[in-house]
């Protein structure tokens, strides 16, 4: 067998995985999910999910990938063989690939908005003030042709990078761009804090949870968001870990990646909510939140605003690209390792994703309310009102945690413990025991309970909680 391909530098995995994790999930999705799902209540559940399920699961995916150095399907197959476990566990990777296919299809459409905004700031088309910016955004969503053009540009760029195997170039660039994005976000937070006088309100809103807002739907969405943002439950981390050098510590890398990802999401929230409160905007206005709020602030700052606007949305595109390439790599790596031409595989896959993405394009105009998903006020099972809402909910909140649940069961129970012990070489006995306990019990039970409560609905949950509280009285 030839030597496995590994990254030259120790830190490359961290950059690649952080590049995958940090993206639209942090900058675009996290703030509007917080706004739609009860502010601090959502943030609290989100943070708990990152800590109790996210980080340990990132370690598990890394173990399987790093052990086998192959694509995710064969990585599971190899570890299963060594553990005398069933080959059916490979189903996890296949299921994940279907999920990322759907996610990438809408991810690309949203990333397209960032292209449009970079252009609009550069040309001054965006207008000034909240009304004009809001109108600009409305027009963009209504114009399916424009959405399709930007969606195509984004998918094409993703395909070219992957086909040329140019990820390493991107990762090097990320070493520069990520810190810039971080600093820029920091500047925006500082601006929002000082210019609006609403920073105190924002802190209360995000970090002082109103426990009555914790409903099954909020919990399942917060959990889904944690998976989405950390790129978990999709074999993406597994795929990247295949290139990890032997001497890299899985625990340390997982902590870094999750930490950076969480900080970025919180910063995005801190940048956006002061502007929401100062302009009397609706925090629950959904996917447009980032695009309307920050642009409103930038639009009022003259030339500096133009520079900030162009720079910010350009960095959003880069962050999105470093995530989108991680969504294509799992499938393409499999093809490559099964003698299918990398370029053909990439373009065929991206073309299929592009076509599927049209569903999302039309979700913002012609199909924005589809009766099948319930009424606007009371969406069917919390899925939302358009095909995009439903696809997002099903993939992020249901499929990803399900993929995570299966991974936890596989790594915790079916896979030979020696494999994980070997890979988590930096952990002492007690910490390894804790990690294993989380994989075997905490993660599966938590995800299981969240699913069950969600399926049973809010009333049943409340009755149950009242019953349990009574027992302890």
Task: Point out which residues bind ligand PHE (CB under 6 A).
Answer: 20-21, 23-26, 100, 103, 228-229, 231, 234, 236, 323, 326-327
Instruction: Write the CB contacts of 35 (distance below 8 Å, at least 6 apart in sequence).
Output: 273, 276, 282, 283, 284, 285, 289
Q: Chain-centre distance of CA 342, in angstroms?
A: 26
- Eight-class DSSP state of 379: B
* C-beta closer to ligand PHE: residue 100 or 130: 100
User: In whole angstroms, how close is the CB of 260 to ligand PHE at the nearest point?
Assistant: 11
- Eight-class DSSP state of 372: G
**374: phi then psi, degrees, rounded to nearest 5:** 90, -170
User: In whole angstroms, how close is the CB of 24 to ligand PHE at the nearest point?
Assistant: 4
User: In whole angstroms, how close is the CB of 100 to ligand PHE at the nearest point?
Assistant: 6
Closest CA to 300 of 93, 129, 109, 47: 129
H/E stretch holding 200 reads helix 199-207
HSE-up (13 A, CA, CB side) for residue 434:
11
* C-beta closer to ligand PHE: residue 265 or 424: 265
Round to whole Å and give the CA distance between 92 and 88.
8
* C-beta closer to ligand PHE: residue 130 or 244: 244
* C-beta closer to ligand PHE: residue 23 or 387: 23
Terminal CA-CA length for the chain: 64
* C-beta closer to ligand PHE: residue 17 or 214: 17
Residue nearest to ligand PHE (CB): 25
* C-beta closer to ligand PHE: residue 130 or 236: 236
Closest CA to 410 of 170, 174, 67: 67
Q: Chain-centre distance of CA 186, in angstroms?
A: 21
* C-beta closer to ligand PHE: residue 60 or 326: 326
Q: Are the C-beta atoms of residues 4 and 69 closer than 8 Å to each other? A: yes
């Amino acid at each position: 067998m030839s030597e496995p391909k590994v990254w030259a530098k120790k830190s490359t995995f961290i950059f690649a995985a952080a590049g995958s994790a940090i993206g639209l999930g942090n900058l675009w999705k996290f703030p509007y999910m917080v706004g739609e799902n009860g502010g601090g209540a959502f943030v609290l559940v989100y943070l708990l999910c990152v800590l109790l399920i996210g980080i340990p699961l990132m370690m598990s995916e890394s173990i399987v990938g790093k052990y086998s150095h192959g694509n995710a399907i064969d990585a599971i197959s190899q570890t299963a063989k060594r553990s005398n476990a069933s080959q059916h566990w490979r189903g996890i990777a296949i299921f994940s690939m279907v999920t990322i296919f759907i996610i990438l299809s809408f991810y690309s459409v949203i990333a397209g908005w960032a292209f449009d905004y970079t252009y609009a700031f550069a040309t001054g088309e965006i207008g000034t003030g909240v009304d004009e910016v809001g109108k600009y955004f409305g027009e963009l969503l209504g114009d399916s042709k424009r959405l399709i053009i930007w969606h195509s540009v984004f998918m094409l760029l993703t395909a070219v990078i992957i086909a040329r195997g140019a990820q390493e170039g991107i990762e090097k660039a990320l070493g520069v761009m990520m810190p810039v994005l971080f600093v820029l976000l920091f500047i925006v937070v500082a601006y929002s804090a000082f210019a609006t006088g609403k920073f105190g309100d924002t802190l209360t809103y995000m970090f002082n949870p109103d426990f009555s807002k914790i409903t099954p739907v909020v919990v399942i969405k917060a959990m889904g968001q944690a998976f989405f943002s950390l790129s978990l439950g999709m074999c993406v981390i597994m795929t990247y870990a295949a290139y990890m050098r032997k001497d890299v510590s899985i625990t340390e890398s997982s902590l870094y990646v999750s930490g950076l990802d969480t900080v970025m999401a919180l910063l995005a929230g801190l940048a956006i909510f002061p502007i929401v409160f100062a302009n009397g905007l609706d925090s629950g206005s959904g996917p447009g939140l980032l695009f309307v709020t920050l642009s409103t602030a930038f639009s009022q700052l003259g030339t500096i605003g133009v520079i900030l606007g162009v720079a910010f949305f350009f960095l959003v595109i880069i962050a999105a690209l470093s995530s989108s390439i991680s969504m294509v790599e799992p499938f393409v790596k499999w093809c490559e390792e099964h003698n299918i031409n990398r370029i053909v595989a990439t373009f065929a896959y991206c073309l299929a994703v592009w076509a599927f993405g049209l569903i999302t394009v039309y979700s913002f105009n012609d199909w924005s309310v589809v009766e099948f998903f319930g009424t606007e006020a009371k969406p069917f099972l919390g899925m939302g009102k358009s095909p995009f809402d439903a696809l997002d909910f099903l993939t992020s909140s249901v499929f990803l945690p399900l993929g995570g649940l299966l991974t936890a069961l596989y790594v915790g129970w079916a896979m030979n413990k020696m494999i994980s012990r070997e890979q988590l070489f930096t952990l002492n006995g007690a910490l390894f025991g804790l990690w294993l306990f989380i994989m075997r019990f905490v993660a599966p039970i938590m995800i299981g309970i969240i699913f069950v409560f969600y399926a049973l609905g809010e009333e049943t949950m409340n009755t149950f909680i009242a019953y349990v509280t009574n027992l302890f009285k």
